[in-house]
Amino acid sequence: MNTLCLPATEENIRLGGRLLSEGQLVGFPTETVYGLGANALDEAAVRSIFAAKGRPQDNPLIVHVAGKEDAFPLCHVTPLAEKLMDAFWPGPLTLVMPKKDVIPHATCAGLDSVGVRCPDHPVALALIRAAKVPVAAPSANTSGKPSPTRAKHVFEDMQGKIPLILDGGDCMVGVESTVLSVTGDIPVILRPGKVTQQDIAAVAGDCKVADSVMRPLQENEAAPSPGMKHRHYAPEGKMTIVQGADEEKVVSLLKAMYDENENACILCRKSLTAHFEGRRVFSIGDTPEDTAKILFAALRDMDEMKVSRILCQGWDTGGVGLAVMNRMARAAAFDIIEA
């Protein structure tokens, strides 16, 4: 199959909508990462998402809608869920709610719940409206690879497998949406994202974080969000995270580990890059938000540069730091050193 990567003009969005309504797959930008869309109500179309990504069958997809009204036919919306939609939609918050029968089992991997979100991106919204159906979309990467934050990342992974990628430039947030279960009395974060525990608690009164968010799952342990149990975000090089408030210690540890390796690269805060002159160093910005935005692209760059040892400075887990560290820790297979 020939894969077109086209600018997200009105005309090309209409083409994307038509392809989706015909059961085909379309790569498209959202505010978080690029998605690989299909008609969420078409079982065969949804199955082809799993095939294109090499995605394990037990990992449910998020269904994207263009507004709150479009969620009601798909799932049972409680007053709390509606309050959260009013506060955070359109935006990077996926709500897991009990599903209705219109959603095929393939879309939610046999679960009786479905994750629904309304993305805050003009191209995504226009595409969903053009398709006139809810759009199931995982991140548009090959399963196990870092999520795509640029159209060219989608092309690298999906070339020859899908007919169309809409290029809407770089994603603003850079890490995937917060996945929040609202099936119980207290909302529970299954995957952290830009919408934080504090943000949700301010609206819902309370909010918990699933304890699997910052630790590896045990063998045979059931994942509250099935996506968490699979190998994720992994670059090809071996990655280690160095944590700690004492910057001098962080710098000397990073230097020592760098010098032990032939083909290493340091990823650290912008303010520290000057300490590594003569060594290969990448900036991860000055805030967790900066890091969220560039992390996946940086991991793909490491692969492109064939870096075999990635030494990355971590953040503490407050605010958006939790989402960044959740992704970084998985990319590093939880190899985290406290300086």
Interface residue list for ligand TXA (CB under 6 A): 30, 32-33, 35, 59-62, 92, 94, 96, 108, 111, 113-115, 119, 137-139, 176-177, 179, 190-191, 225-228
Using the rule CB under 5 A, which residue among 12, 39, 139, 313 binds Mg ion?
Answer: 139
Separation of alpha carbons 305 and 315, rounded Å? 24
Closest separation between CB of residue 61 and Mg ion, Å? 10
* Complex with ligand TXA: residue 119 or 253, whichever CB lies closer: 119
CB under 8 Å to 332, separation ≥6 — which residues? 239, 240, 241, 310, 312
The verdict on 94 binding Mg ion (CB under 5 A) reads no
Q: Does the protein bind Mg ion through residue 12 (CB under 5 A)?
A: no
To the nearest whole angstrom, how small is the minimum distance from the Cβ of residue 288 to ligand TXA? 17
Taking CB atoms, the residue at the shortest distance from Mg ion is 139
Q: Which residue is nearest to ligand TXA (CB)?
A: 227
Of Mg ion, ligand TXA, none, which one does residue 322 interact with (CB within 5 to 8 Å by kind)? none
> Residue 90: which of ligand TXA, Mg ion, none does it interact with, CB under 5 to 8 A by kind?
none
Nearer to Mg ion, 143 or 313 (CB): 143
**In this structure, what are the phi and psi dihedrals at residue 336, rounded to the nearest 5 degrees?**
-125, 125
Shortest spacing between CB 173 and ligand TXA, in angstroms:
8
> In whole angstroms, how close is the CB of 96 to ligand TXA at the nearest point?
4
- Bridge partners (DSSP) of residue 139 are 35
Least separation, in Å, of the C-beta of 72 and ligand TXA? 17
Chosen from Mg ion, ligand TXA, none, partner binding at 190 (C-beta under 5 to 8 Å by type): ligand TXA
Pairwise CA distance, residues 255 & 261, whole Å: 10
State the Cα–Cα distance between residues 192 and 15, nearest whole angstrom: 33
Q: Which is nearer to Mg ion, 32 or 139 (CB)?
A: 139
List the one residue out of 126, 103, 125 whose CA is nearest residue 113: 103
Nearer to ligand TXA, 54 or 270 (CB): 54
Judged by CB under 5 A, which stretch of 39-47, 134-142, 156-164, 271-279 contacts Mg ion?
134-142
* Binding residues for Mg ion (CB under 5 A): 139
